[in-house]
Amino acid sequence: MSLLNLESTELAELSQKVRAEYEELKAKNLKLDLTRGKPSAEQLDFADELLALPGQGNYRTASGEDVRNYGNLKGIEDIRAIWAELLGVSVDNIFAGDSSSLNIMFDLVSWSYLFGNNDSERPWKDEEKVKWICPVPGYDRHFTITETLGFDMVTVPMLEDGPDINAIEELVKDPQVKGMWTVPVFGNPTGISFSEEVCDRLAAMETAAADFRIIWDNAYAVHTLTDEFPVIHDVVGKAAAAGNPNRFWVLTSTSKITHAGGGVSFFASSADNLAWYSKIAGVRGIGPNKVNQLAHAKYFHDAEGVKAVMRKHAGSLAPKFDAVLNTLEERLGQYEVARWTKPTGGYFISLDVIDGTANRVWELARDAGIKLTEAGSSFPLHQDPNDRNIRLAPSLPPLEEVTEAMDGVATCVLLAAIEKLEGK
């Protein structure tokens, strides 16, 4: 019973019904928020113990370093070793920083612009133009960084197994193309993970720019919604094997594992890339908050400890994702007015509605007291050329609110589609 195939009387009937539902929805005076990928209070409580760590008298690393004093730009090995294991890289190839990996990404890109990176002929600021590959839909905060630096953002579509690798292999023949954003596992907002083939081809492809870099923002590397953890491809190793050792800047953090914005970030890369980063980071400051790093190391103990925490998160998040997917299926499945991703990890579901109606859905939801991420926000400059995509973030509200909000969103999607069909 696709909406498109309805007889006009059937459409009129449905229209009346959906309009009535929308009026009921508005009458509820809801105040619901599905905008950002924030952990819920229940999830934050998992790390309660961390609030009292490292604990009085505990300030030495396993190697005897006093974390309370200055020094050690790389961060302490106690926590670096855990993430080296999780990411499948050597402990020598990973730094532990302050709370935010986004901070490090901004520095990497802006320092390449300002000074050039270790493979640059000149600072990117002195290039005629800098172009940057942006798989869409993608992470809004990534795009804002390259927007702020004035780069030309070239989009490629996200497919089932990652970004369109054929298109990327063509684009990188242009020497002005200096880099690319990715969220390779449980991506924001699609939840898609890159296949090994895509990883291999990204590692091996020839790029015209020697200083081309892929920002491998593995923010959701261990953020499963099931009993299984995703395979983490060692792209640093793959790229080295393919003769492109400096291709990847790999980032992740504990933001959605312990305290959002108060955790530990990680930066893994080749020795040369880390040396280049250190040279400037060592001018910017002396080193990261090692007390917080030791607290985290004591909280997790080891890589298995991280996975144990992530299973708790999955237990809290999976029912919310189920609620979204079930509501979408029940309310919209039959009408063929929307498609959505069905992630097995991460923080988001990507919802595509009928072309030209995403903004209207957002508006209708807003007027009914349901805050959605602004339509278009998963695209560079917030411009979705098809006005089609909406990012759903079900983590923060309690389960019953997620269900209620999604039921409302379904009504809005349907109403916007009907309005369009009615030529309104």
Contact residues: a second copy, CB under 8 A: 36, 38-39, 41, 44, 47-49, 51-59, 66-71, 98-100, 102-103, 106-107, 110, 113-115, 125, 141, 144-145, 148, 255, 259-262, 280, 283-292
Compare residues 146 and 270 and give the one whose CB is closer to a second copy. Answer: 146
CB burial string 204-227: b at 16+ within 10 A, e below: ebebebebbbbbbbbbbbbbbbee
C-beta of 55 vs 385, nearer to a second copy: 55
Judged by beta carbon, residue 71 or residue 356, the one nearer a second copy is: 71
Name the residue nearer to a second copy (CB basis): 238 or 296.
296
**CB of 257 closer than 8 Å to CB of 222:** yes
What is the token pair recorded at 146?
């390259």
Whichever of 45 and 329 has its CB closer to a second copy, that residue is 45
Cβ neighbours, 10 Å, residue 335:
21
DSSP E strands in 183-253: the ranges are 213-217, 248-253
Min separation Cβ 99 and a second copy, Å: 5
What b/e string do you get for 354-373 counting C-beta neighbours within 10 Å, with b at 16 or more?
beebbbbbbebbeebbbbbb
Q: Are 208 and 168 in contact (CB under 8 A)?
A: no
Strand 248-253 to 162-163 pairing? unpaired
Looking at 235-385, list the stretches that DSSP marks H as alpha helix, in order from N- to C-terminal side.
235-241, 271-284, 290-300, 303-332, 358-367
Q: What's the closest the beta carbon of residue 268 comes to a second copy, in angstroms?
A: 19
User: What are the structure tokens assigned to 215, written together?
Assistant: 């920002």
Shorter beta-carbon distance to a second copy: residue 248 or 347: 347
Nearer to a second copy, 134 or 328 (CB): 134
Query: Rounded to the nearest whole angstrom, what is the least distance from the CB of residue 384 to a second copy in the complex?
Result: 21
CB of 206 to a second copy, least distance (A): 31
Torsion angle (degrees, nearest 10) of CA 148, 363, 333, 140: 10
Minimum distance from CB of 378 to a second copy (Å)?
17
Identify which of residues 200 and 217 has a Cβ nearer to a second copy in the complex.
Answer: 217
Q: How far is the CB of 121 from a second copy (least distance, A)?
A: 17
Closest approach of a second copy to the CB of residue 7, in Å: 49
CA nearest to 108, candidates 118, 121, 94, 122: 118
Amino acid letter, 225:
L
Closest approach of a second copy to the CB of residue 289, in Å: 4
**What is the phi/psi pair of residue 159, to 5°?**
-105, -170
